[in-house]
Amino acid sequence: MRVSTILASALLLVVEAVAKPIPNPIHYIRQAGPSAGIVINKCSRPGVLALAFDDGPYTYTRQLIDTLDKAGAKGTFFWTGTLYGCIFNQAAAVKAAFASGHQVASHTWSHPQNFGSMSTNDLTNQMNKLEQAYASLIGVKTTYMRPPYLATGGNVLPTLRNLGYRVITDDVDSNDWNGYSVSQSQQQFTRAGAGGNGHIPLMHETYATTVQQLVPWLINWAKTNNLQLVTVADCLGDPNGAYKNATGIQPINSC
C-alpha cells in the first residue's frame, strides 16, 4: 500500500506538471523590450508616428509640450545637460513633459562633437552626468538615448550596451538643422509615407519653425493618415520600459 501510494502521488505530480502551460521564452524576451546597444531607426509596429526631438530643453520646449498635450499626442525628448544652457534652467518644462507622459531620454550631457571617437570612460561620464540630473529632476533613470550627430562608431555601442541604453537614430530626417524650410521638411515626411512600420524622425525643438509650424502640420498629417502619435518606447512595443529606478544614482542640482 505504501509503495502504491507513493507511485500514485508521483503520477499526480507528473499529470499536473504536464497540464500547466509551458512558459514561452519569446514572451519574456518581448517583455524585456529592445536590446541595449543596438541601433534602432524605425518603429516596430504600423499605425504610429514617434515624434522625437533633440538638443533641448530650450526656450520653445514648454510651447511644444502644450501643443502636443492639446492634440493628445505623445513625444520623445532627447535632452542634453548643457547644449542650450543648463538643463536646470528649464526644470519646469522637464518636469511638465514627464508629468504629461511624454518620454524623457538622453542626448548626453554636453553633446560632444567627437562623441564617436571618445573613450569608454568619457562616454560613460557623458551618460552618467545626465543620469544624475534626471535623478534630481524626475527621479528616474532613462533607458533610451540618441547619440549626438547620430555617431555610433568606435566605443559608442559597446559602452551604451554595458550601460543598458537602447540606441535610437532615425529613418526620416526633417533637416531642420540643415536649413530646410518647413515645406521642405514636410516633403521629407510625405515622401516617407504613412505605410509600413512607423517612423522615428529627427527634429530639433531648438528651432521655432519646427515647434510652431512643422509640429502642428505633423499632428494634422498623422490624423489624416490615421497614425497615432506615440513615444519612441511605445512605438517599439516597450511602453513601460522607458525608465528604471534611480536608486544608487547620486543626484546633482546644478551644471
Helix (H), strand (E) counts: the chain: 10, 14
Q: Which of 153, 132, 152 is closest to 142 using CA atoms?
A: 132
Let me know: does 96 contact 125? Beta carbons within 8 Å: no
Let me know: does 115 contact 149? Beta carbons within 8 Å: yes
Q: Which residue pairs from 10-13 have beta carbons closer than 8 angstroms and sit at least 24 positions apart in sequence?
A: none
For the record, the C-alpha cell of 249 comes out as 544614482
Catalytic residue among 54, 55, 170, 238: 54
Catalytic residue among 102, 107, 111, 204: 204
For the record, the C-alpha cell of 227 comes out as 497614425
Q: Is 204 a catalytic residue?
A: yes
Q: Which residues are catalytic?
A: 54, 204
